[in-house]
Amino acid sequence: MYGAGGIGCYVGGRLAATGTPVTFVGRQRMADELAAQGLRLTDYLGADLRVDDVRYETLPAAAAEADLVLVTVKSAGTKAAAGELADVLKPGTIVVSFQNGIRNGAILRERLKDQVVVPGMVPFNVLNRGGGVFHQGTEGALDVQRHPGLAPYVDSFARAGLPLKQHDDILPVQWAKLLLNLNNPINALSDLPLREELSQRAYRRCLAAAQAETLELLDAKGITPARLLPIPMHRFPAILRLPDFLFRRLAGKLLAIDPLARTSMWEDLQAGRPTEIDYLNGEVVRLADSLDRPAPVNTKLVQLIREAEVIRRPWSGADLLRELQG
């Protein structure tokens, strides 16, 4: 697991707990936390696992002997991780990007010319509760581009309870996830827990505007986003715009979220770290540029997050909607 934080510790931990040899590579503070407290994994179904003998390393050289590398750094760290891995990996090593966004696979490929880079996607949410405890909050298998090199590992992932779902074309799956992740900047700007934010129509209308803009661009590009949830992606904006009481009735399941859960973009702003905005709404702006079209809503969200990275202020739903409509 390269970049073992939330996703890396959880996915790697599930694999290790069911007998797959795993080396975690990440930061010293995480190494210290796991050495002191151990690694514990819980999930929304009530699972509660302790993982013994975690091998957590802090230098890239620890990846040298790996046959399979799962990259789980945030998107802003992909380029650096690619450079480090290029120096140590064996030729032919399979490298899977389990990151959000569309372009991390391409960034890895630029440096890892002798390895096989396979893009993937994690559909569920993992909360780092601190003290070595990681919680999977929602369901889902691990999505990945189909590749014959993954065959030796399929059983290990299934045993770990995280089956690999292989796709002939992962791009529509990545775009579908990105459409959902367009809420990340809205949640971060609201400064509210997800459930509270999504319960308010004004914030949902902001998300609907960002999604509708993206869906039109994807349509123009000939990309149909995959169906990740029971509701098809193109129906989302209309459902999000519903009055609160109707939304609760029709899409109440979307609000079945831990009342304290927030997005990682909110956490990044809180911790003063760079956000993934360039790889989410920024990707929509890039798509618009490639089509010579505007993307005013997503451009504005990128700009507001850039500003929030310097000075934070909470946005009410009404103010944010006005800003995006302006």
Which stretches of the chain bind ligand NAP, using CB under 6 A?
3, 5-8, 25-27, 30, 72-75, 77, 80-81, 84, 99-100, 122, 125-126, 128, 264, 276
Give the shortest CB-158-to-ligand NAP separation in angstroms: 20
Give the shortest CB-84-to-ligand NAP separation in angstroms: 6
- Give CA torsion, residues 70, 71, 72, 75, to 10 deg: -160
Rg (CA), the chain: 20
Closer CB to ligand NAP, residue 72 or residue 190? 72
Closer CB to ligand NAP, residue 96 or residue 122? 122
At residue 257, φ and ψ (nearest 5 deg) are: -120, 150
Q: How many residues does the chain have?
A: 326
Which pairing describes strands 126-130 and 133-136: parallel, antiparallel, or unpaired? antiparallel
Give the shortest CB-130-to-ligand NAP separation in angstroms: 12
Rounded Cα distance between 164 and 144, Å, is 7
Closer CB to ligand NAP, residue 99 or residue 156? 99
Q: Where are the beta strands (DSSP E) in 26-102?
A: 39-43, 48-51, 55-57, 68-71, 94-98
Closer CB to ligand NAP, residue 97 or residue 317? 97
Give the shortest CB-100-to-ligand NAP separation in angstroms: 3
Closer CB to ligand NAP, residue 194 or residue 324? 194
Question: Within 13 Å and on the Cβ side, how many CA atoms surround 1?
Answer: 28
| Crossing angle of helices 201-221 and 317-325, rounded to 10° | 30
Closer CB to ligand NAP, residue 27 or residue 322? 27
Residue nearest to ligand NAP (CB): 5
On whether the CB atoms of residues 127 and 149 are closer than 8 A, the answer is no
Q: How far apart are the first and last CA of the chain?
A: 44
Closer CB to ligand NAP, residue 26 or residue 282? 26
Q: Where are the beta strands (DSSP E) in the chain?
A: 23-25, 39-43, 48-51, 55-57, 68-71, 94-98, 116-121, 126-130, 133-136, 142-145, 164-167
On whether the CB atoms of residues 302 and 281 are closer than 8 A, the answer is yes
Closer CB to ligand NAP, residue 5 or residue 317? 5
Give the shortest CB-187-to-ligand NAP separation in angstroms: 13
Give the shortest CB-78-to-ligand NAP separation in angstroms: 8
Give the shortest CB-234-to-ligand NAP separation in angstroms: 22
Give the shortest CB-58-to-ligand NAP separation in angstroms: 7
